[in-house]
Structure 1
Amino acid sequence: LWWCPTGLLTLLPLHAAGYPDPADTPAGRTVLDRVVSSYTPTLRALARARKADAPATADRRLLAVSLPEPPPGGVALSPLPGARAEAAFFERAMPGSHTLRVGDAATHATVTADLRTHAYAHFACHGSQDVNDPSTGALYLWDKPLTVLDVAELDLAHAELAYLSACHTAVGGATLPDEAIHLAAALQLAGYRHVIATLWTVGDRTAVDVATSVYTSLVDGAGLDLADTAHVLHRTVRALRDADPRDPTRWAPYIHSGA
């Protein structure tokens, strides 16, 4: 089921809506129990994502951007030890099939160039969004943020998956013209057929757990099998929900957008 919300609905986890059931009744009264959800900023973006060709074998490499330590200067940010764990996962799971940019190697110019030559991109870093000025939504790289406006300038013909293991990457603006302006939408419009992003803050440990679960199911030899990406995220989120149903802040922020 593809959601294409408008207005204030864009701020809500529609995929997690429903009535919590008492412990002694069968589950099944939530969207999460009934359908596999995905989102799209526009119907045109969805149609484009579903028609896009898969990349050639030579292009099936993953770019992993990891900033376990906060960038120098600017906004005060906390360390993200989980970002290092996510990078280590790719070293084990995709040896020789990924490019790793950690810490000061993850500069704006380098990452922007890398996005043009990799089918898959994973960001483990801090993210931010200002609902009053959503075009400033950003991923914090080492020297300067990668913003929504930066992504909007990209045209990535063979892009397949962008996974944003960062906070607030699928939150748009508070006013109608800005509702679809966020990093996830910008990446989908730039060419990515699948985007995994977040609606609000996610815990560092949870980010590692979700990323590890998702990629363990997606890794296929030297690349990724993305045929069931939305289903894979759905199963991961539902498992988190089943383990701790009373804390939706942990499992509800994750969404899939795209094909």
Structure 2
Amino acid sequence: MILTAFSGSGIYGPDSGDSQISNYVVSSYTPTLSTLLHPPKADPISSFSLLSVIQSSAPGASSIPSTKQELEHIQQRLANHDHVVLEGEAGTKRRVVKAMEKCNWLHLACHGIQRPDEPTKSALLLEDGHLTLDEIIKLNLPRAEFAFLSACQTTTGDENLSEEAVHIAGGMLLAGYRSVVATMWSIQDELAPVVTDEFYRHIVENGDRPDSRKAAEALHLSVQNLRKQPGIQLTDWIPFVHLGV
């Protein structure tokens, strides 16, 4: 069963026992009520193709070297599936958008920024510029099924906005993706490959075609695994969230 609940809810401490909600439910979020009232068709199409966009650096941003390890994990887990990779200089806006139109799954390992002053300009940092929220929601993506946004601040809203769900992950849902994994704030570079590896391990279990309907549960299990790692703090695993159906 998948319920809408905040994954970090509960009591934490040396004597807290099993008083965290994540021990009992798989959390999934919806940016708007209309997403629940009129959900997109949940059945995946028969064909499968994953686009991975890997940007370990971007103009004006710090380096995120673990994106290369992230890609290695994906390639190992999806060795028997169609996988398109745009890495480094190949990851231009034009090439990324064109590939998004052809591939039904998307994995973005790059920098993301939230613009509270101009929310529709929140963006993913690609090789030659920003792919902004207002550009994303205008895309025509009839094959879109699932997106993994392994980037910082992809579900960061703002309490001062009339619509708090104006963020990149929400834009992906508006563009047609039925299911999205994203982050609520900045994440540690070295932790993203850990979550990614576990996520795709669960999503391709038994060698079947990856099923986006299992995304919330796969992320839940991945985060639970992360929590068991030495030195992991509450703020390290809470940012990873699932949106959609």
Question: Could you state the TM-score of these two structures normalised by the residue count of structure 1?
Answer: 0.86
Q: 2:9 aligned with 1:17, yes or no?
A: yes
Q: Which position in structure 1 is the counterpart of 2:238?
A: 252
Q: Which position in structure 2 is the counterpart of 1:6?
A: none
Q: Which amino acid aligns with 1:121?
A: L
**Root-mean-square deviation over aligned CA pairs:** 2.0
Are 1:130 and 1:173, in contact at CA under 8 Å, matched by a contact in 2? Answer: no
Q: In 1, distance between residues paired with 2:37 and 2:201?
A: 28
SS across alignment from 2:84 = strand
- Name segments (4+ residues, structure 1) moved above 3 Å: 46-50, 220-223, 242-246
Q: 2:145 aligned with 1:153, yes or no?
A: no
Give unpaired runs (5+ residues) of structure 2.
none
Are 1:165 and 1:197, in contact at CA under 8 Å, matched by a contact in 2? Answer: yes
Q: Which position in structure 2 is the counterpart of 1:239?
A: 225
Q: Which position in structure 2 is the counterpart of 1:87?
A: 71
Q: Which position in structure 2 is the counterpart of 1:8?
A: none
Q: Which amino acid aligns with 1:186?
A: G
As a proportion of its length, which structure holds more helix? 1
Are 1:139 and 1:145, in contact at CA under 8 Å, matched by a contact in 2? Answer: yes
| Counterpart pick for 1:26 among 17, 26, 34 | 17
Q: CA deviation at 1:89?
A: 2.3
| Counterpart pick for 1:179 among 156, 164, 174 | 164
Q: Which position in structure 2 is the counterpart of 1:61?
A: 49
Change (3 A) 1:56 1:171: same
Give unpaired runs (5+ residues) of structure 1.
4-13
Q: How many residues align?
A: 241
Pairwise mapping of residues 49-128 of structure 1 onto structure 2 (< 5 A)?
49-57=39-47, 60-68=48-56, 70-72=57-59, 76-95=60-79, 97-128=82-113
Q: Which position in structure 2 is the counterpart of 1:2?
A: 4
1:106-153 Cα offsets, whole Å, 9 max, x none, are 000110111111110000111111223221111100001111111110
Question: Could you state the TM-score of these two structures normalised by the residue count of structure 2?
Answer: 0.90
Q: CA deviation at 1:56?
A: 3.3
Q: Which position in structure 1 is the counterpart of 2:36?
A: 46
Q: CA deviation at 1:61?
A: 0.2
Are 1:122 and 1:162, in contact at CA under 8 Å, matched by a contact in 2? Answer: yes
1:81-119 Cα offsets, whole Å, 9 max, x none, are 111112222332323511000001000011011111111
SS across alignment from 2:191 = helix
Q: 2:123 aligned with 1:138, yes or no?
A: yes
Q: Which amino acid aligns with 2:53?
A: V
Q: In 2, distance between residues paired with 1:115 and 1:149?
A: 16
1:135-179 Cα offsets, whole Å, 9 max, x none, are 111110000111111111023222111000110000123324231
Q: CA deviation at 1:241?
A: 2.5
> Percent identity at matched positions?
35
Q: CA deviation at 1:245?
A: 8.3
Are 2:7 and 2:21, in contact at CA under 8 Å, matched by a contact in 1? Answer: yes
Q: CA deviation at 1:46?
A: 3.3
